[in-house]
């Protein structure tokens, strides 16, 4: 490809330019055009009693009337974290310290303990994320080998003091504000990528029901009642 | 002009000349294919002589100084450490605009009293780079006109980038800032002290668009003397990256030039990939190009929009930000954040683009084009804009080269250097686009070049979208990047790779490397020194607006304060990148 350099010249200093008034009129036409394009739909919408969501937002107008209306974020939005749970309500996390290691901001603290259900082996007795240190990079989600931590679309995180910015397990297991199951409230999650080994329908992402699998293999399962839900810190 | 016209020189044409002149004093090193040529000085005393030769000899003609990298090799592994046991090393990164060629000049300095003569008389651009090396590494530059701290406070103790300086130390800096008195002492006659006035522009001033400070000495409204100061946003990026793995550095890069965050991440990832010899899949390359160009549009939109506000034209600001806002939506859908993107990974991208990427990108075209045309219509033939921007802040081509200008500001001064054309990467050589150049070198030229560059960016995106290849977006070398999740969840081998990458990081063989991309403001270069571990041993960024801001005090001298504001905006100084 031959290199191409275009030499630009500043617009010429002609009569219309020096008169100034021509350009003023042209400019007014442009800005008034914007004004009309923004204002006319409002009157049209008023006539229809704002059939939409009633938040005053009008199609085509580059405005989000926060907080009545909210911007739509994608399925990858990196907001507050959420610790995923198994069907029985226990944390999927096995306290392997991967997210703590991967975190560039050093904001995750985990303490591991032995789980009452033998098959679950290890679980975090303490799992804290310092939201004031967190840079919302999503590296913890990428690093988790158990699909145990996702992020949500909750982004309004405000605190009165530094202590309340440290989220423990109760805060981190809270479902995102507008969600049902894997619904719209969830944000950044593991990326499965393209792999030659992957075939359609063959792979169940995460949440492998561990106990039935082990039972089918004939392992002795210590059937203890599921652990009590973690107490608020 | 000539830089683009000449073909890239692959062989070292100047090697015989250099050898004849200096013999064993300057040794040409064998380098990996993708790195730049290297000359190591075995005799420190020949430093200035060799540097002058490299600049003046027609076979070399390295007229543009890009970067000065200082490295502390304390406890470095053997392959890095020079044979004579020197502790410090300086890399001078040079570029020849005539021959389109990069070069690295290495000089080793002893542990005791590391001193070297200054290069200011050869390349004025080195002034601030040497101040930075003195500030952070404690290397003394003999004959430097103004060797004082740059990024840290006057009261700072020690040199932070030395390996024996522990990170996380805190100093209470109470010492009075001396800039104002320094500048007062520069007056030529005692009478000036009464007739002139010293004024602070910044650090918190609406026209600085970031925290940076310029001390002006004014005679009425005319600037008699000026001195820029930066460092208010210094976040120790380079020091911190030494204690993080190669992939953990990526979130830090988003905060360099926050107007075009993705370009920084892509540039960094590419530097590490080139160093590792990893090739990323074509789809990842294409996506990087598309998103880089969208980021470039955002960067230019912010620059033009905010600068026109400083000139009193508020309307354009709304138009420019509307286009930027629309682009942010797309970026967020790709990476999950509007500004702190962290989308790049060493070895690809963090995720594939959303399924409707093509339509979404194309739906942005009319928005961007409309806003561009509106700004163009309101400003380009506006007599007030012309009065404010034409003939102010003039930088000639010679000065632009001497002061280390690259990017749109360099091209506005007639320096037709664009990394995308002259050192193509990620498949830019297969795309058809123009490099707009103007010769006026004033603020209007900077504005006009940026407007045209945005149109060219749209052209690039359009072409690249048309031939967006299918396939994976990450390499399948799992020593570099995390393996696909089903391998991690279901296979032992995948899990082992996953653990190795997270806990140890990607291991890069010992050595050094320079790699650059065209950032929003010019050549964004990364020098990486690796010691074989998972963390960079030393990482140095060449922020494109660092030389721009260093030259700012010279550009505005003799002009009016209001012109200084217009110039500051059109140089587009981004404090996050300036201070790192």
The residues, any chain, with a CB within 8 Å of residue B20's CB and separated by 6 or more, are: none
pTM value surpassing 0.90: no
Can you give the residue range of the structural domain that contains B396?
237-579
- DSSP, collapsed to helix, strand or coil, labels residue A126 as strand
How far is residue B512's CA from residue B496's CA, in Å, rounded to a whole number? 29
Residue of B nearest to A198 (CA): B486
pLDDT value at residue B454: 92
Inter-chain CB proximity B487 and A195 less than 8 Å: yes
- At B7, the pLDDT band (50, 70, 90 cuts) reads very low
CB B473 within 8 A of CB B287: yes
| Chain B CB contacts of A94 below 8 Å | none
Per-residue pLDDT tens for B104-123? 999 988 888 888 999 999 99
What is the distance of C-alpha A128 from the center of its chain? 19
Inter-chain CB proximity A78 and B337 less than 8 Å: yes
Reported ipTM: the value is 0.81
d(CA B303, nearest CA chain A) in Å: 19
Asked if pLDDT for residue A210 goes beyond 60, the answer is no
Per-residue pLDDT tens for B126-150? 999 999 999 999 899 988 888 888 8
Cis peptide before B205 (omega within 30 of 0): no
The residues, any chain, with a CB within 8 Å of residue A223's CB and separated by 6 or more, are: none
Q: What H or E segment, with its residue span, contains residue B41?
A: strand B37-41
Structure tokens at B235: 């976040």
Of the three residues B142, B173, B191, the one that is the final residue of a domain is: B142
Asked if pLDDT for residue A200 goes beyond 60, the answer is no
- At B539, the pLDDT band (50, 70, 90 cuts) reads very high
- At A194, the pLDDT band (50, 70, 90 cuts) reads low
Asked if pLDDT for residue B427 goes beyond 70, the answer is yes
| Chain A CB contacts of B421 below 8 Å | 3-4
pLDDT value at residue A117: 77
Say yes or no: B334 and B481 in one domain: yes
Inter-chain CB proximity B248 and A98 less than 8 Å: no
Instruction: Report the pLDDT averaged over residues A171-194.
Output: 73
The residues, any chain, with a CB within 8 Å of residue A62's CB and separated by 6 or more, are: B322, B325
Per-residue pLDDT tens for B55-79? 888 888 898 999 999 999 888 888 8
Domain assignment present for B171: no
Asked if pLDDT for residue A59 goes beyond 90, the answer is no
Asked if pLDDT for residue B8 goes beyond 50, the answer is no
Q: What is the 3-state secondary structure (H, E, C) of B430-450?
A: HCCCCEEECCCCCHHHHHHHH
How far is residue B126's CA from residue B118's CA, in Å, rounded to a whole number? 8
pLDDT value at residue A129: 93
Return the number of other C-beta atoms located less than 10 Å from residue B552's C-beta. Answer: 23
How far is residue B53's CA from residue B48's CA, in Å, rounded to a whole number? 8
Per-residue pLDDT tens for A124-133? 999 999 999 9
pLDDT value at residue B472: 82
- At B10, the pLDDT band (50, 70, 90 cuts) reads very low
Domain assignment present for B200: no
Chain A contact probe: residue of B348, B375, B410, B485 with most A CBs at under 10 A? B485
pLDDT value at residue B271: 92
- At A221, the pLDDT band (50, 70, 90 cuts) reads very low
Higher pLDDT, A128 or B85: A128
Q: What is the 3-state secondary structure (H, E, C) of B185-245?
A: HCCCCHHHHHHCEEEEECCCCCCCCCCCEEEEEEECCEEEEEEEECCCCCCCHHHHHCCCC
Q: What H or E segment, with its residue span, contains residue B88?
A: strand B88-96
- At B31, the pLDDT band (50, 70, 90 cuts) reads confident
Domain assignment present for B423: yes
Instruction: Report the pLDDT averaged over residues B177-202.
Output: 68
List B residues 378-397 in contact with A (Cβ-Cβ < 8 A): 378, 380-383, 386, 390
CB A189 within 8 A of CB A77: no
Chain B contact probe: residue of A38, A106, A145 with most B CBs at under 10 A? A145
> Helix crossing, B443-466 with B561-571: angle to 10°?
20
Domain assignment present for B405: yes
Structure tokens at A149: 């931590």
CB B337 within 8 A of CB B294: no
Domain assignment present for B331: yes
d(CA B230, nearest CA chain A) in Å: 24
- DSSP, collapsed to helix, strand or coil, labels residue B71 as strand
Task: Give the N- to C-terminal CA distance of chain B in Å, as an integer.
Answer: 32
Domain assignment present for B172: no
**Using alpha carbons only, what angle is made at residue A186 by residues A182 and A187, rounded to the nearest 5 degrees?**
140
How far is residue B228's CA from residue B210's CA, in Å, rounded to a whole number? 13
Higher pLDDT, A49 or B5: A49
How high is the mean pLDDT of chain A?
74
Domains held by chain B: number: 2
Inter-chain CB proximity B378 and A208 less than 8 Å: no
Asked if pLDDT for residue B293 goes beyond 90, the answer is yes
Report how many helices (DSSP H) and strands (DSSP E) chain B contains, helices first.
22, 16
Higher pLDDT, B406 or A224: B406
d(CA B423, nearest CA chain A) in Å: 11
d(CA A74, nearest CA chain B) in Å: 5
How far is residue B154's CA from residue B144's CA, in Å, rounded to a whole number? 18
Say yes or no: B416 and B551 in one domain: yes
Domain assignment present for B552: yes
Say yes or no: B455 and B567 in one domain: yes
Q: DSSP letter for B351, please.
A: S
Per-residue pLDDT tens for B383-398? 888 888 888 888 998 9
How far is residue B380's CA from residue B372's CA, in Å, rounded to a whole number? 11
d(CA A196, nearest CA chain B) in Å: 10
Say yes or no: B376 and B492 in one domain: yes
pLDDT value at residue A183: 58
pLDDT value at residue A233: 59
Strand ranges, E, within B311-469? 344-345, 348-349, 435-437
Using DSSP bridges, classify how beta strands B435-437 and A5-7 pair: parallel, antiparallel or unpaired: parallel
pLDDT value at residue B129: 92
Of the three residues B142, B168, B201, the one that is the final residue of a domain is: B142
The residues, any chain, with a CB within 8 Å of residue B482's CB and separated by 6 or more, are: A142, A143, B488, B497, B498, B501, B502
Cβ of residue B499 closer than 8 Å to a chain A Cβ: yes
Best CA proximity match to A205, nearest among A152, A145, A157: A145
Asked if pLDDT for residue A197 goes beyond 50, the answer is no
**Using alpha carbons only, what angle is made at residue A106 by residues A102 and A108, rounded to the nearest 5 degrees?**
80
Asked if pLDDT for residue A180 goes beyond 60, the answer is no
Of the candidate ranges B209-213, B324-328, B567-571, the one whose mean pLDDT is the lowest:
B209-213
Per-residue pLDDT tens for B435-460? 999 888 889 999 999 999 999 999 99
User: What's the full length of chain B, in residues?
Assistant: 580
pLDDT value at residue B517: 92
CB B579 within 8 A of CB B234: yes
Best CA proximity match to A88, nearest among A128, A115, A127: A115
Say yes or no: B547 and B421 in one domain: yes
How far is residue A7's CA from residue B441's CA, in Å, rounded to a whole number? 13
Domain assignment present for B157: no
How high is the mean pLDDT of chain B?
85
Residue of A nearest to B429 (CA): A1
- At B177, the pLDDT band (50, 70, 90 cuts) reads low
Of the three residues B109, B142, B175, the one that is the final residue of a domain is: B142
Cis peptide before A31 (omega within 30 of 0): no
What is the distance of C-alpha B229 from the center of its chain? 18
Per-residue pLDDT tens for A99-112? 999 999 989 999 98
- At A214, the pLDDT band (50, 70, 90 cuts) reads very low
pLDDT value at residue B526: 93
Per-residue pLDDT tens for B277-289? 888 888 889 999 9
CATH number, residue B245:
1.10.645.10
Of the candidate ranges A69-83, A195-209, B432-446, the one whose mean pLDDT is the lowest:
A195-209
Higher pLDDT, A17 or B90: B90
pLDDT value at residue B157: 82
Say yes or no: B124 and B244 in one domain: no
pLDDT value at residue A2: 41
How far is residue B186's CA from residue B198's CA, in Å, rounded to a whole number? 12
Of the candidate ranges A197-201, B249-253, B336-340, the one whose mean pLDDT is the lowest:
A197-201
What is the distance of C-alpha A205 from the center of its chain? 19
CATH number, residue B64:
3.30.460.80
| Chain A CB contacts of B485 below 8 Å | 147, 190-193, 205
The residues, any chain, with a CB within 8 Å of residue A173's CB and separated by 6 or more, are: A82, A83, A85, A91, A230
pLDDT value at residue A199: 39
Backbone CA torsion sign across B384, B390, B392, B393: positive
A to B CB pairs, distance under 8 Å = 165
| Chain A CB contacts of B416 below 8 Å | 5
Q: Is B27 exposed, middle or buried (0-12, 13-18, 19+ CB in 10 A)?
A: middle
Using DSSP bridges, classify how beta strands B222-229 and B348-349 pair: parallel, antiparallel or unpaired: unpaired
List B residues 502-521 in contact with A (Cβ-Cβ < 8 A): 502-503
Say yes or no: B400 and B256 in one domain: yes
pLDDT value at residue A202: 38
- At B489, the pLDDT band (50, 70, 90 cuts) reads confident
């Amino acid at each position: 490809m031959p290199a191409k350099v275009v030499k630009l010249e500043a617009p010429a200093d002609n009569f219309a330019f020096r008169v100034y008034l021509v350009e003023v009129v042209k400019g007014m036409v442009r800005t008034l055009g914007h004004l009309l394009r923004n204002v006319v739909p409002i009157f049209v919408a008023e006539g229809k009693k704002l059939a939409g969501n009633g938040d005053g937002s009008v199609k085509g107008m580059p405005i989000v009337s926060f907080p009545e209306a909210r911007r739509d974020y994608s399925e990858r939005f990196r907001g507050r974290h959420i610790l995923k749970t198994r069907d029985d309500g226990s944390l999927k996390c096995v306290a392997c310290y991967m997210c703590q290691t991967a975190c560039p901001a050093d904001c995750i603290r985990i303490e591991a303990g032995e789980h009452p259900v033998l098959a679950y082996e290890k679980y975090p007795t303490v799992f804290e994320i310092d939201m004031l240190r967190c840079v919302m990079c999503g590296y913890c989600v990428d690093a988790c080998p158990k699909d145990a931590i996702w992020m949500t679309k909750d982004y309004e995180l405000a605190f009165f003091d530094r202590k309340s910015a440290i989220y423990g397990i109760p805060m981190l297991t809270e479902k995102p504000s507008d969600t049902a199951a894997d619904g719209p409230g969830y944000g950044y999650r593991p990326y499965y990528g393209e792999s030659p080994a992957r075939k359609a329908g063959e792979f169940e992402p995460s949440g492998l029901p561990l106990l039935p699998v082990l039972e089918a293999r004939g392992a002795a399962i210590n059937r203890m009642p599921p652990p009590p839900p973690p107490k608020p810190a | 002009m000539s830089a683009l016209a000449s073909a890239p020189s692959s062989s070292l044409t100047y090697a015989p000349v250099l050898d004849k002149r200096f013999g064993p004093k300057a040794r040409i090193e064998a380098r990996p294919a993708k790195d730049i040529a290297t000359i190591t000085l075995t005799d420190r005393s020949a430093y200035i002589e060799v540097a002058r030769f490299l600049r003046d000899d027609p076979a070399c003609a390295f007229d543009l100084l890009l970067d000065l990298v200082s490295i502390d090799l304390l406890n470095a592994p053997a392959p890095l450490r020079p044979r004579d046991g020197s502790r410090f090393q300086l890399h001078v990164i040079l570029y020849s605009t005539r021959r389109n060629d990069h070069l690295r000049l290495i000089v080793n300095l002893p542990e005791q009293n590391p001193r070297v003569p200054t290069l200011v008389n050869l390349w004025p651009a080195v002034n601030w780079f040497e101040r930075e090396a003195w500030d952070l590494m404690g290397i003394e530059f003999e004959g430097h006109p103004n060797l004082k701290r740059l990024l840290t406070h006057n009261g700072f103790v020690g040199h932070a980038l030395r390996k024996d300086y522990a990170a996380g130390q805190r100093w209470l800096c109470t010492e009075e800032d001396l800039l104002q008195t320094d500048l007062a002492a520069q007056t030529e006659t005692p009478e000036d002290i009464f007739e002139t006035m010293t004024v602070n522009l910044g650090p918190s001033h609406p026209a600085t668009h970031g925290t940076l400070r310029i001390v002006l000495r004014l005679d009425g409204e005319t600037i008699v003397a000026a001195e820029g100061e930066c460092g208010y946003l210094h976040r120790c990026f380079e020091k911190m990256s030494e204690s993080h793995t190669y992939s953990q550095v990526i979130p830090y890069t988003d905060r360099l030039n926050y107007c075009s965050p993705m370009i920084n991440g892509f540039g960094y990832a590419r530097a590490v990939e080139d160093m590792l010899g990893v090739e990323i899949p074509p789809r990842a390359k294409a996506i990087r190009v598309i998103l880089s160009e969208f980021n470039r549009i955002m960067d230019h939109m912010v620059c033009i929009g905010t600068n026109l506000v400083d000139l009193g034209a508020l309307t354009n600001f709304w138009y420019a930000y509307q286009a930027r806002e629309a682009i942010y939506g797309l970026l967020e859908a790709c990476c999950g954040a509007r500004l702190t993107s962290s989308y790049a990974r060493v070895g690809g991208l963090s995720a594939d683009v959303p399924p409707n990427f093509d339509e979404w990108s194309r739906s942005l075209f009319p928005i961007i084009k409309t806003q561009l045309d509106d700004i163009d219509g309101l400003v380009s033939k506006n007599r007030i804009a012309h009065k404010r921007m034409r003939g102010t802040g003039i930088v000639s081509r010679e000065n632009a080269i001497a002061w280390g200008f690259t990017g749109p500001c360099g091209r506005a001064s007639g320096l037709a250097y664009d990394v995308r054309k002259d050192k193509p990467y990620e498949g830019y050589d297969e795309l058809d686009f123009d490099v707009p150049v103007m010769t006026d070198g004033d603020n209007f030229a900077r504005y006009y070049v940026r407007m045209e560059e945005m149109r060219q960016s749209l052209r690039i995106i359009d072409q690249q979208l048309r031939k967006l290849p299918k396939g994976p977006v990450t390499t399948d070398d799992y020593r570099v990047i995390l393996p696909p999740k089903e391998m991690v969840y279901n296979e032992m081998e995948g899990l082992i790779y996953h653990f190795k990458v997270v806990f140890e990081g990607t291991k890069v063989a010992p050595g050094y490397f320079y790699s650059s991309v065209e950032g929003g403001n010019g050549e964004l270069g990364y020098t990486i020194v690796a010691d074989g571990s998972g963390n960079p041993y030393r990482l140095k960024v060449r922020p494109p607006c660092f030389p721009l801001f260093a030259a700012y005090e010279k550009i505005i001298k003799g002009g009016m304060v209001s012109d200084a504001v217009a110039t500051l905006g059109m140089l587009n100084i981004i404090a996050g990148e300036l201070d790192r």
